[in-house]
Amino acid sequence: MSLLLKRPDRSYLVRPGDRLETDLGIIEVPDEISPGEYLESHLGTTFLVTKPNTTDFFEHLDRGGAPMIPRDIGLVIGLLGVQSGDRVIDVGTGTGILAIAMARLGVEVVTFERDPDTAELARANVARASVTDAVQVHDGDAVDATLETGFDAMTLDTGDASTLVERASEVLVPGGVVVAYSPFIEQARAVTTSARASKLTSVETYDTVQRMMDFDERGSRPTTGPVGHTGYLTVARFLPTLA
């Protein structure tokens, strides 16, 4: 079980029995500790113990390269419409952030990662998030793999998405949904073209843009910081009798 030690300006992900050394002091986490309690470092700094949410795991787990960020994870889950008891095949595990988010909603996830080191990191993150019973991380390339069937949804975060989306009709139940994340518009176009050419319907692609707001004495406006675009999401549905 993971816990979060919170201060107003920082937080730490720990487990019961951990010893945490920080500039605010050393914290010995008891074996028996519950959310809502307080811990004090040897320098007298007090931390609130809380239960981590999915966004906390994104912030504190080893994210490796460029994982899908929380707002895009929320969009993917919203477009999929998954709920507790559903099964999802996830191709392009990365470090497991999306799979963990879905598993914490009660979804069973079967996920593929072609890089063995990244797959191992995903397994470690899955274990730290306490969702090992819900997530199966497979090494290897899903393009040529023999895939299970009967999934309620499929997620793609891989350069092979335009090829893999063609297999959605093989693995999804009727009415199942597939969502592909593409960092570049050319990839999104390729996924859309492949989805329309296969047995998928209701194919749509969205640009994921979110702008932070600035509020000060001069007025209110979107921040002049980095542009809030992260990628493109293509969503489609498998409706075999209506294709």
Dist CA 23 CA 116 (whole Å): 35
Q: Where in the chain is the domain with CATH 3.40.50.150?
A: 56-242
- In the predicted structure, residue 90 carries a pLDDT above the cut 90: yes
- In the predicted structure, residue 66 carries a pLDDT above the cut 80: no
**Contact in structure between 20 and 45 (CB atoms under 8 Å):** no
Percent of the chain with pLDDT over 90: 60
Place 62 in a pLDDT band, splitting at 50, 70 and 90: confident
The verdict on pTM exceeding 0.75 is yes
**Contact in structure between 7 and 53 (CB atoms under 8 Å):** no
Place 242 in a pLDDT band, splitting at 50, 70 and 90: low
Residue in the block written with tokens 């095949």? 89
Per DSSP, the chain holds a count of helices (H) and strands (E) of: 7, 15
- In the predicted structure, residue 243 carries a pLDDT above the cut 60: no
**Contact in structure between 44 and 59 (CB atoms under 8 Å):** no
> How far is Cα of residue 205 from the mean position of the Cα atoms in its chain?
19
Place 186 in a pLDDT band, splitting at 50, 70 and 90: very high
Dist CA 49 CA 165 (whole Å): 43
Q: Taking Cα atoms as reference points, which of 10, 4, 166 lies closest to residue 180?
A: 166
Dist CA 70 CA 98 (whole Å): 9
The pLDDT score that the predictor gives to residue 65 is 64
Dist CA 97 CA 8 (whole Å): 25
Tell which wins on pLDDT, 136 or 54: 136
**Contact in structure between 54 and 104 (CB atoms under 8 Å):** yes
Structure token pair of residue 162: 């335009």
Q: Taking Cα atoms as reference points, which of 20, 16, 58, 9 lies closest to residue 37?
A: 16
pLDDT digits (tens, 9 = 90+) for 230-240: 899 999 999 98
The pLDDT score that the predictor gives to residue 124 is 93
The pLDDT score that the predictor gives to residue 227 is 62
Task: Tell me which of 3.30.1490.20, 3.40.50.1360, 3.10.330.20, 3.30.499.10 is the CATH number of domain 3-52.
Answer: 3.10.330.20
Average pLDDT over residues 55-78: 81
The pLDDT score that the predictor gives to residue 135 is 97
pLDDT digits (tens, 9 = 90+) for 96-149: 999 999 999 999 999 999 999 999 999 999 999 999 999 999 998 888 788 889
Structure token pair of residue 196: 């329309």
Question: Could you tell me where the beta strands, DSSP code E, fall in the chain?
Answer: 3-7, 10-14, 19-22, 25-28, 38-40, 46-50, 87-91, 108-113, 135-139, 151-156, 172-182, 201-209, 213-216, 219-222, 229-237
Task: Tell me which of 3.40.50.1370, 1.10.150.120, 3.40.50.150, 3.40.109.10 is the CATH number of domain 56-242.
Answer: 3.40.50.150
